[in-house]
Structure 1
Amino acid sequence: MELQQMRYVVAVAETNSFTRAAERCLVVQSALSHQIARLERELGARLFERTSRRVRLTSAGAAFLPAARQCLDAAERAAAEVAAAVGEVRGRLAVGLIPSVAAVDIPGALREFHEQYPSVRVSLRVGASDELVEQVRQGAIEVAFLDLPTTARPEGVEARELARDCLVAVVAPDHPLAGEPAVDLGRLSREVFVDLPAQTAGRAQSDQAFTDAGFSRDVAFEVTNTDYLSRLVAQGLGIALLPSTYVHQLTGVRTIEVTDAPVRVEYVVWSRADRTPAAAAFLAVLDIPAQSPPVTD
């Protein structure tokens, strides 16, 4: 069994096509098909069901795919570790982030990182804070930038607190509150809201603030992307609470100070047990030491 055969299997599984897989792997289709057939004979099972209209994994192929990916990841990691041992950082770096990161200039940090380590291939993945923490724990991403309410902490990962920030109200330019210098949660509770989905960390900090203040509110629209959230606000569909350090980049809306605003804490997190050379180098660019002190209040 060869690594190249595993690469071919993964490519076919991800593209659902022998033709597209061959194009991705830069080989002729006959060579790719031959190698997969050879692997199937060695394993004693067919990995794909092939028809004139589609290609899909068999049950044996579905069982083989995760292990093949792990082997390929391990091989890539081994090559990266050897390169690091002789002073070269290469391989891949997966970075997760929430859309409203404000404590770190991510594009600027990546530019500096790329200038120092041009051989590293970087992928960015946007998601919710709780999802990003889980992906770091599972090893799907190496470093993540996220936020949590002051009552929560990242669990099962190394973490460094980057900043704390109060939320502000965001309204349409013609909203009755647009000219107010400041409001409180009691006044805002009478408005219709646009917010992140329920059960997400970004939503939880606002929900908890209203609950603690003794108010309920109506969230009429749930949006996973903060940029699109602000576009709904600009159309007058509701108001929102967003970090004060993030809203300056929004257009078509007005911001208002909230006197009893909830606070969010921004973190950078990474794996406790399995940090790649690329991840260590990226954290160094952010001036984060190998061992970060524990997060405290």
Structure 2
Amino acid sequence: MELQQLRYVLAVAEERNFTRAAQNTHVVQSALSHQIKALERELGVQLFARTSRRVELTEAGHAFVAGARATLDAAERTVTEAVATTGQMRGSLSVGAIPTVTRLDLTAVLGRFHRTYPQVSIGMSVGGSLDFIERIRAGSLDAAVLGLPEYVEPTGVAKAVLARERLVAVLGPGHRFSGRKRLRLADLTDETFVDFPSDSPGRSQSDRAFAEAGLTRTVAFESMLVDMMLDLVVQGLGIALLAPAVVPKGRGLVTVPVTDGPKRVEYLAWSEFNPSPAATAFIEAALASLDAE
């Protein structure tokens, strides 16, 4: 059994098509098919059920794919760790970020990391905290910046607190409360809100704050994009509760503290089980950038 055969199996499993799998692995289809058939003969089981139009994993195939993926990950880790002993770094680094990162200058950290370790392939995605936590646990993501309500702590991952902050009311130009020094949640119950989707931690912290105060509110606009949320506020379609650092100056937006408003905690999270050398170096660089401020 060879590692390349495992790569071929994973490619077919992902694409469910031999032609596309061959294209993705840069080999002619006949060679890929031959290698998989040879592997099936060696194993004595059929990994794929095939017809002229359809390819699916068999029960044995599902079991094999899980082990194959772990084997390839281990092989890559072995090479990376061996090379790292020479002072070099290679491999890959995958990082997730919420749309409202405030404490960490993530792009600057990634830029310095790339200049220090140019042979490491870097990927970044923007999304939700809960999804990032699951991906870190599953081993498909190295690290992520999370934003969670103060009553929710990420579990199953290593973590460092980057910031704790209370959200502010974000008001459009000419809003009736724009001259106020402070507000309370009770002042905002008649307002229309722009907020994150209802199943996100960014939304739940505000929903819970209103519920615990015995108040209700109307959320008419939902978005994961902070720029879109702010555009809606500028147009006078609603107000928002956001971390103060994500609100830019010069757009006519006004931020007012909410004395009993929700709080959030920003975390840097990574795998607590045997992180890769690249992940470890990134975490060290990210935390060092905070100490240097």
TM-score, normalization by structure 1: 0.86
Structure 2 equivalent of residue 256 of structure 1: 255
Consecutive unaligned residues of structure 2, counting only runs of 5 or more, are: none
What's the CA shift for 1:120?
A: 0.9
What's the CA shift for 1:202?
A: 1.5
Contact map agreement 2:169 2:258 (CA 8 A) in 1? no
Structure 2 equivalent of residue 12 of structure 1: 12
For 2:107, the aligned partner's letter is P
Structure 2 equivalent of residue 110 of structure 1: 110
User: SS in structure 2 opposite 1:99?
Assistant: coil
Number of aligned residues:
288
For 1:80, the aligned partner's letter is T
Instruction: Please tell me the root mean square deviation across aligned C-alpha atoms, in Å.
Output: 2.6
2: CA distance, partners of 1:24 / 1:268: 33
The sequence identity of aligned pairs, in percent, is 49
What's the CA shift for 1:238?
A: 3.2
TM-score, normalization by structure 2: 0.87
For 1:130, the aligned partner's letter is L
Contact map agreement 1:181 1:256 (CA 8 A) in 2? no
What's the CA shift for 1:37?
A: 1.4
What's the CA shift for 1:119?
A: 1.1
Structure 2 equivalent of residue 276 of structure 1: 276
1: CA distance, partners of 2:287 / 2:178: 40
For 2:257, the aligned partner's letter is V
For 1:49, the aligned partner's letter is A
User: SS in structure 2 opposite 1:145?
Assistant: strand
Structure 2 equivalent of residue 43 of structure 1: 43
Structure 2 equivalent of residue 210 of structure 1: 210
Contact map agreement 1:5 1:36 (CA 8 A) in 2? yes
What's the CA shift for 1:112?
A: 0.3
Structure 2 residue 267 is matched with structure 1 residue 267: yes
2: CA distance, partners of 1:87 / 1:112: 17
In structure 2, the CA distance between the partners of 1:110 and 1:175, relative to structure 1 (3 Å rule), is: same
With 201-210 and 108-117 compared, the bigger mean Cα shift is at: 201-210
Which string of whole-angstrom CA distances, capped at 9 and with x for unpartnered residues, describes residues 113-142 of structure 1? Answer: 000011111222322222222322332222
In structure 2, the CA distance between the partners of 1:258 and 1:5, relative to structure 1 (3 Å rule), is: same
Structure 2 equivalent of residue 160 of structure 1: 160
1: CA distance, partners of 2:234 / 2:48: 49
Structure 2 equivalent of residue 29 of structure 1: 29
Contact map agreement 2:147 2:201 (CA 8 A) in 1? yes
1: CA distance, partners of 2:147 / 2:155: 13
Contact map agreement 1:180 1:256 (CA 8 A) in 2? no
Contact map agreement 2:170 2:256 (CA 8 A) in 1? no
* Correspondences of 1:41-120 after superposition (within 5 Å): 41-120=41-120
* Correspondences of 1:124-273 after superposition (within 5 Å): 124-173=124-173, 176-177=176-177, 182-234=182-234, 236-248=236-248, 254-260=253-259, 261-273=261-273
What's the CA shift for 1:172?
A: 4.5
2: CA distance, partners of 1:40 / 1:74: 22
In structure 2, the CA distance between the partners of 1:47 and 1:212, relative to structure 1 (3 Å rule), is: same
